[in-house]
Amino acid sequence: MSRTAVITGGASGIGRAVARALVARGLHVTIADIRHAEKAAGDLGCAHATLDVTDASAVRDLLGAVRDEHGRLDYVFNNAGIAIGGYADELTLDHWNAAIDVNLRGVVHGVHAAYPIMVRQGFGHIVNTASLAGLTPAPMMAPYTATKHAVVGLSLALRAEAAAKGVRVSVVCPGFVDTPLLDHANPGLPPTEVGDQARRAAVRAQGRLYPVDAMARDILRGVARDQAFIVAPASARFAWRLARLSPVLASRVAGLAVRRAPWRAPW
C-alpha cells in the first residue's frame, strides 16, 4: 500500500516542489490549493483538490476522503500561506485578519483534521510551514510574523504531545527562497509601501534566492530525520542561531535595518 501525502498551497512555490519530489518517490500525492491546483496536478501527474484552507469543513472532508480512498494518511503538509507586509501604523484590520485566517487558522484546520486520523492509525507526520520570520524579529511584516511565530509554537506543543501516540510533527522555517510569495504580497488587500517594495525586491532578487527544489530537498531530508525544526538555507540557520544566542542583538539588527532602509522590505 503506497504512502499518501496532502499538500496545501501545493500549486506553486515550496508546496509544488515538495509535491514533485514526493511524486518521484512513488507516493500518492494530492495537491490542494485555492487556485491552479488542477493544472499543477496535471503537470506533476498527481491528484488535486481546490481548497480554501480557511474552510475547516472543506479541509476535514479532503483529508478524510484521502484516508478513505487509500486506507491511510501518511503526510500532511500545512503549507498554504500569504505574505502580508506593511508598517504597523498603515496596516488595516483586514491585513491582520487575512494573515490570521490563512497563515494560522489554515494550519489549525489542517492539524485539527489530520491529527485524529493519525492518532487512530498510530502513525503519520504533520509538517507545518512557518518561516524564518517565526524565529526572528521581522519588522514591517507584523501580522505575518505573529502568525508564523504562532505556527512554530503550535508545532512544538503538538510534537511533544503527539510523540507518545506515534505521530510526528515538524515545522519548516524557510529563509529567502525563490517562490512567488512576495510577488503576491497583500493579496486582495489595500496596498502598502512595504508590500509594493517587496514585489519590486522579489523581481530584482530573481536568480539570487535559494532554489525552491533545494528547499524541498531540505524539507524531505528533515522529515525523514524527524527534525523538530527544518530551517534552510544556511543564512536562515545563522539568523536563527543569532536570535537564540542574543535576542536583544537580533532585535537591534532588525531595528537598524528599518532605520537605514525604511523603504526596503527586510525579506
**Catalytic residue positions?**
144
In contact, 167 and 115? CB cutoff 8 Å = yes
**Grid coordinates 514591517 are at which residue?**
140
In contact, 10 and 31? CB cutoff 8 Å = yes
CA distance 15 to 173: 13
Q: Which residues of 25-63 are buried (b: 16+ CB within 10 A; e: fewer)?
A: eebbbbbbbbebbeebbeebebbbbebbbbeeebbbebb
Q: What are phi and psi of 191, to 5 degrees?
A: -70, 155
Count CB neighbours of 187 within 10 A. Answer: 12
Q: Which residues of 137-168 are buried (b: 16+ CB within 10 A; e: fewer)?
A: bbbbbbbbbbbbbbbbebbeebbeebeeeebb
In contact, 233 and 176? CB cutoff 8 Å = yes
DSSP alpha helix (H) spans, the chain: 13-24, 37-44, 56-70, 93-99, 106-121, 142-162, 193-205, 212-224, 234-245, 247-260
